[in-house]
Amino acid sequence: MVQSKSPPKKPARRKPQSASSSNAALQAPTGTPAIEWVAAALGAALTLFVAGVIGWEALYAREAKPPSIAAERLGVSPVSGGYVVEIRVTNRGGRPAAQVMVEGELMSPGVEPEVAEATFDYIPDKSAREGGLFFKSDPASGTLTLRAKGFAEP
Amino acid sequence: MQAAANRQYARGLSRGFGGALLFAFPLLMTMEMWQLGFAMERGRLLILLLVSLPMLLGLSYFSGFEQTFRLKDEILDALAALAIGILLATAMLAIFGVLGADHPLSENVGKITLCAIPGAMGALLAGKQLGGEAAMAARPKADGGYLGELFTMMVGGLFLAFNVAPTEEIVLIAYQMTELHTLALMALSIGLLHVIVYELGFPGEDLRRQTRGLRRTLLSFTVPGYGLALLISLYCLWTFGRLDGISLHEATAMTVVMAFPAALGCATARLVI
């Protein structure tokens, strides 16, 4: 009976008192949080992996063998003004090569040989890059020879 | 308790990602970094990675994700920074189309590693840089003494030098300069280093700075600072193979060119770290 006199006032007063004490936990975390271990473990794993790959390569994979570059023909498509021969250039040597010049010579019977060139910025060792050579006459009409002309040490 | 600590550390980590992105993006978008990533000598890349570990540890001591100075936490922070650097470099280089699924693993790993190192440094620096004012004020500043100050200078110099070291422009500038230009650049580097250090001083010794004479600053900070800058330059140039087969004269010019950003980094290190 006594409570019914002023019911709206009481709950409003209590609220601020009960919420104040639980906030203190946010300020000073003492132990090492679990997520810190997870992040560090991830970092350690990634670093070991990376160092492993580089170290293995430093010790075994990189040979002193010079770049050995071969060009192969992928396909021919007609384009405006002639044909494009798509090529893949592979470096099977032990070192990367820069500014690799690849030349294609098209020998057709009765016509002067046609030469096209492409330069590949970088071809790492054991890697391939693709490009194309343009010719005016149809490569199917003659014999096309591809060769790498030279490179620079990166 | 645990949940709150985890949340706080996760916030630190995401700040770290932000910092790594901010500090490493110029290098992530530099063509020479990708090329050097696979073209540079593997042994030197491995040494660079190993050298970066104690440096990250030291950086974590001065500014990390946490406000503690226990060795265990410094190691964990340094490793977490490496995780951030590697993950960020992988993601960004993949988005830029630099990495290829058909490229050999060692090529992709080389590119990622080279870009991950400045990223990891950025991640640790962000602990302070992107932290709120309150967090900065609450943190007791690590005072490593004179050696600590030299270390700070070294990290600052290395960071700035690293930003330009892979570019062709260093070689080009060295070619263009005559002996007179080289001497002028040296004088400018030392002068700037001295003025910045003398004017800014180092936190924790504001009182001493008033009494510290011009000559003391010169002897204890400027001269060793420029020495550090030269050493850092030599190391960066060697790492990227710029010194191979180069005459002593040309190598000296390149070192002086590199020492300019390195000296600026040394001088302003306290602003960043």
Classify residue A105: in a domain, yes or no.
Answer: yes
Average pLDDT over residues A47-66: 82
ipTM greater than 0.85? no
**pLDDT for residue A1:** 42
Alpha-carbon span A26 to A28, nearest angstrom: 6
The reported pLDDT for the residue numbered B239 is 94
Angstrom distance (rounded) from CA A123 to CA A128:
7
pLDDT single digits (tens) A81-107: 899 999 999 998 888 888 999 999 999
More confident of the two residues A52 and A31 = A52
- Whether A108 is covered by a domain: the verdict is yes
CB B37 within 8 A of CB B120: no
Residue A110's pLDDT is 80
* pTM confidence score: 0.76
Per-residue pLDDT averaged across A4-12, rounded?
Answer: 44
Which contiguous run of DSSP H or E holds residue B266? helix B248-272
| pLDDT value, residue B72 | 79
Q: Rounded mean pLDDT of A125-151?
A: 90
pLDDT at A7: 45
Predicted local confidence at residue A20, as pLDDT:
40
Task: Provide mean pLDDT across the span A113-136.
Answer: 90
Q: In angstroms, rounded to a whole number, what is the distance separating the alpha carbons of residues B38 and B18?
A: 26
Q: Which residues of A touch B76 (CB under 8 A)?
A: 32, 36-37, 39-40
Measured between alpha carbons, how far is residue B132 from residues B12, B129, B138, B139, B141 in Å?
Answer: 11, 8, 10, 11, 15
Which pLDDT score is estimated for B125? 83
> Quick check: is A83 in a domain?
yes
Residue-wise pLDDT for B40-85, tens only, equals 888 999 999 999 999 998 888 876 565 556 777 888 889 999 999 9
Residue A104: inside a domain, yes or no? yes
State mean pLDDT over A110-129. Answer: 87
Backbone φ, ψ for residue A136 (5° rounding): -80, -40
Contact A61, A52 (CB under 8 A): no
Residue A75 dihedral angles phi and psi, to the nearest 5°: -175, 165
Q: Which two tokens stand for residue A86?
A: 């798509």
Determine whether A78 is exposed, middle or buried from the number of CB atoms within 10 Å of its CB (0-12, 13-18, 19+).
exposed
**What is the model's pLDDT at position A36?**
83
Q: How would you classify the pairing of strands A127-135 and A114-123?
A: unpaired
Classify residue A82: in a domain, yes or no: yes
Amino acid occupying residue B243: L
CA-to-CA distance for A53 and B106, rounded, in angstroms? 6
Mean pLDDT of chain A: 79
- Could you give phi then psi for residue B40, rounded to 5 degrees? -70, 155
Identify the CATH number of the domain in which residue A141 sits.
Answer: 2.60.40.1620
Q: Give the residue among B200, B107, B65 at the shortest CA–CA distance from A127.
A: B107
Mean pLDDT by 10 residues, chain B (273 residues): 80 89 91 88 92 89 65 85 95 92 86 94 74 44 71 89 90 90 95 82 49 72 91 94 87 94 88 69
Count of structural domains within chain A: 1
What residue numbers bound the domain in which A82 lies?
Answer: 69-152
- B interface test, pick of A22, A23, A26, A35 with most B CB neighbours within 10 Å: A35
Give the other-Cβ count within 10 Å of A8's Cβ.
Answer: 6
Distance from CA of B255 to the nearest CA of A (A): 20
Look up residue A1 and give its amino acid: M
Assigned token pair, B126 = 């962000």
Contact between chains at A46 and B86 (C-beta distance less than 8 A): yes
What is the C-alpha separation between B216 and B211, in angstroms, rounded?
10
Q: What is the pLDDT of residue B1?
A: 60
Q: What are phi and psi of B87, to 5 degrees?
A: -65, -45
Residue % of chain A over a pLDDT of 70: 77
pLDDT in tens, A10-33: 444 444 444 444 443 344 445 678
In a domain, A148, yes or no: yes
With respect to residue A1, please indicate whether it lies within any of the assigned structural domains. no
Chain A residues near residue B105 by CB distance under 8 angstroms: 53
Cβ–Cβ under 8 Å, residues B34 and B105: no
A58 in a structural domain: no
Single-letter amino acid, residue B4: A
Q: Which residues of B touch A128 (CB under 8 A)?
A: 102
Instruction: Please say if the pLDDT value at position A120 is more than 80.
Output: yes
